[in-house]
Structure 1
Amino acid sequence: MPVTVTRTTITTTTTSSSGLGSPTIVGSPRALTQPLGLLRLLQLVSTCVAFSLVASVDAWTGSMGNWSMFTWCFCFSVTLIILIVELCGLQARFPLSWRNFPITFACYAALFCLSASIIYPTTYVQFLPHGRSRDHAIAATFFSCIACVAYATEVAWTRARPGEITGYMATVPGLLKVLETFVACIIFAFISDPNLYQHQPALEWCVAVYAICFILAAIAILLNLGECTNVLPIPFPSFLSGLALLSVLLYATALVLWPLYQFDEKYGGQPRRSRDVSCSRSHAYYVCAWDRRLAVAILTAINLLAYVADLVHSAHLVFVKV
């Protein structure tokens, strides 16, 4: 049976899919005139303008430029699919849970666009010479910020309210799962060079922690999107609680071990950035090794806080079968 979640024991239903009190309009062009429809049109236009500006001057060379271009194209494509599904009234035929999919995507898209809005100007735009390409790149960054705000607004409008029966992904723990997996992906990008961790078993353990917790959180998201939470051999609430507790414990060890073995000289670390030769100059499209180590340490702390919040908020959920 599908599982829905409410944040309190009061199980009253909502009359609005946008969170603004307007009725849901299915299979009608009028859906675009509703607040949520207009917001999604803004998302569509802003991401389209962002990648079009960059593509018109070929200003996306290197891994960071590729990431930003992928972000805008991906967000544009999925937003277009969501609009088509709602305009044609195809929610029941969509292969994933429509109760969970739009807000899950909106949360990922907000994080994707936020990362592009930070990474693209800091690692790419600042190295471009003044001229048409730089102007287009700056404008693309502006529209990326607009898209980020638009997706974040959708999450704020459609997230679960107290007493509302909704899909798990619309609750705080569900949204935290999105954050946890996204941060883990950023960590994987920073530790893509095996030389950062292969010299110490403790650091290899940290990498294993990131991978294990990412896989478990991804499984929880996929089970909800596919509405197949009943395939687990244990109750889904127990799985979520165990997942959050295990992740907190594992990330706590990583938060201690990663900085200790990366920045403490007694354990072979480098406490000062100035000692890293790769950080002696600014490079386009490149993040030096010491900065990568520091970024992973910070992201580890962020994810630990996310898992702690996940564990705390999970205790306030009441699961009902529908």
Structure 2
Amino acid sequence: MSAWKIISFKDDVYTLCFFLRFPQTISMCIAFSLVASMGHERGAIGDWCLAIWCLCFIVTFFMSVFEYRYYYRNFPFFWYKLPITYACYAALLCLSTSIIYPVFYVQYLPHGPSRDRAIAASAFSCISCVLYAIDVAYTWKHYGFENIRCYVLTLPGLLKILESFVACVIFVFLSNTSLYLHQPALKWCVAVYSICFVQVAVAMLLRLGGWENRLPLPLPIFHLGLTVLSVLLYVSALVLWPLYQFDEKLGGQPHWDSDMSCVGELIDYGCIWEQRLAVAVLTAINLLIYVADLVYWTRQVSVGTEDQPSTPSPLHSQDVSLQSSAVP
């Protein structure tokens, strides 16, 4: 432990960049390169997974460059929130693509070079998931989050991450527009998912940016109002999506074997019925998360206490003092 204590923060960032960021970047690059080389055969889910891997590659690359070159000269206090927030999302997104891509797409590919590339891409996605999870643990230890409060490691922060993550997984399946374009009620469900996702994104940006104290309403009431609206919207989606997808009277397909894309050859999208079911299950899961969020904010309003927007913590002064002593 004494050896770790004498290592400068700059050396820690150097280690993070080259022993975590570098393999993350390489893994993401290989994953999306393998899928991109499949051309038109990758399908809608493949396109969405490709977009996730490409986004993670770009963000990780520029983050590593920024940390290595400019870290202790710019944003010494603000920056500590960003890496762990991004690493949490990247780990969850890579985990989802590592599951969705093989289960809903790869298994329907015929044996051949395309299937081999898809399996290899899934493997590198799993490797990236593990690396990002290690990144979360390393960042937590590096910044001493056991001594200060970081929003993404609080209960409301974790709930927001889960809400937005489940919404992103739903959007993966909604990339297949044939799931909902034929029914106005299903289009409403897509609008529900989009509206709630935007609400979560706004709430997280306000907290991470330290702008919550500029709201015209008290913070607990603001979050409670957004959460109540999200719960009501998700309840409507939970009713309408299964009703119009699986009720035969409303044009749905109640059984798996009634969908030719599941029993026949791969057309472009894999088994569409399984994707409908996945969206229904994910809608129920996200509704439960929103209900938990609602309970939390209801308690905050009733008790009349809430963690106020974060002010500069001891970490800020620690960073500044270390910066002044380490950088001439």
User: Partners of 1:267 and 1:96 in 2: how far apart?
Assistant: 55
- Match for 2:288 among 305, 311, 318? 305
- 1:16-36 Cα deviation digits (max 9, x unpaired): xxxxx968954x3442336x8
Residue 111 of structure 2 is aligned to residue 129 of structure 1:
yes
Distance 1:72 1:179 in 2: 19
1:295 deviates by: 1.8
Pick aligned residue for 1:165 from 144, 148, 155? 148
Match of 1:59 among 38, 52, 63: 38
Taking a change above 3 Å as real, the CA distance of residues 162 and 250 of structure 1, as seen in their structure-2 partners, is: farther
Deviations 1:265-292 (A, max 9, x none): 4555332222334444131541444333
After superposition, the Cα gap between the structure-2 partners of 1:51 and 1:221, relative to the gap in structure 1 and judged at 3 Å, is: same
The equivalent residue for 2:69 is 88
Residue 105 (1) aligns with residue 86 (2) = yes
Structure 2 residue corresponding to 1:117, chosen from 58, 83, 98: 98
For structure 1, the 5+ residue unaligned runs are 1-20
How far did residue 200 of structure 1 move?
Answer: 5.2
The answer on whether the counterparts of 1:64 and 1:124 sit within 8 Å (CA) in structure 2 is no
- Between the aligned partners of 2:127 and 2:210, the Cα distance in structure 1 is 32
Q: CA separation in 1, counterparts of 2:46 and 2:83?
A: 26
From 195, 199, 211, the equivalent of 2:183 is: 199
Q: 2:31 touches 2:125 (CA, 8 Å); kept in 1?
A: yes
* TM-score for both structures, normalised by structure 2: 0.73
Where does residue 316 of structure 2 map in the other structure? Answer: none
Partner of 1:219: 202
Is 1:45 the counterpart of 2:34? The answer is: no
Identity of aligned residues (%): 50
Question: Shift of the alpha carbon at 1:119?
Answer: 3.5
What TM-score does the superposition give when structure 1 sets the normalisation length? 0.74
Question: Conserved in 1, the CA contact under 8 Å of 2:106 and 2:115?
Answer: no
Matches within 5 A, 1:13-32: 25-26=8-9, 28-32=10-14
The Cα shift of 1:219 comes to: 1.0
Structure 2: gaps spanning 5 or more residues:
301-305, 312-328
Higher normalized helix content (fraction of residues)? 2
Q: 1:244 corresponds to which residue?
A: 227
Instruction: Provide Cα deviations, 1:292-315, integer angstroms capped at 9, x if missing partner.
Output: 321211110121122233334555
Preserved CA contact (<8 Å) 2:156 2:293? yes
Q: One-letter code of the match for 2:240? A: L
Paired residues of 1:251 and 1:304 also in contact (CA < 8 A): yes
Do the aligned partners of residues 234 and 104 (structure 1) sit closer, same or farther apart at CA in structure 2, a change above 3 Å counting?
Answer: same
**Structure 2 residue aligned with 1:255, among 228, 232, 238?**
238
Aligned to 1:296: 279
Alignment of 1:71 onto 2:52 = yes
Matching residue's letter, 2:38: A
Q: Does the residue aligned with 2:257 lie in a helix, a strand or coil?
A: helix
Q: 1:248 to 1:163 in 2, by over 3 A?
A: farther
Secondary structure in 2 matching 1:227? coil
> What residue identity is the alignment partner of 1:253?
S
Tell me the CA shift for residue 125 of structure 1.
Answer: 6.8
Contact 1:125 1:138 in 2 (8 A): no
- Specify the code of the residue in structure 1 equivalent to 2:63: I
Give the distance between the partners of 1:52 and 1:205, measured in 2 at CA. Answer: 35
CA distance in structure 2 between the partners assigned to 1:128 and 1:22 by the alignment: 54
In structure 2, how many angstroms separate the alpha carbons of the residues matched to 1:96 and 1:64?
38
Taking a change above 3 Å as real, the CA distance of residues 117 and 238 of structure 1, as seen in their structure-2 partners, is: same
Work out which structure has the larger RCO, using CA pairs closer than 8 Å and 6 or more positions apart in sequence. 1
Structure 2 CA distance, aligned partners of 1:227 and 1:79?
A: 24
CA distance in 2, matches of 1:148, 1:40: 12
Contact conserved, 2:20 with 2:131, CA < 8 A, in 1?
A: yes
Question: Does 2:135 match 1:146?
Answer: no
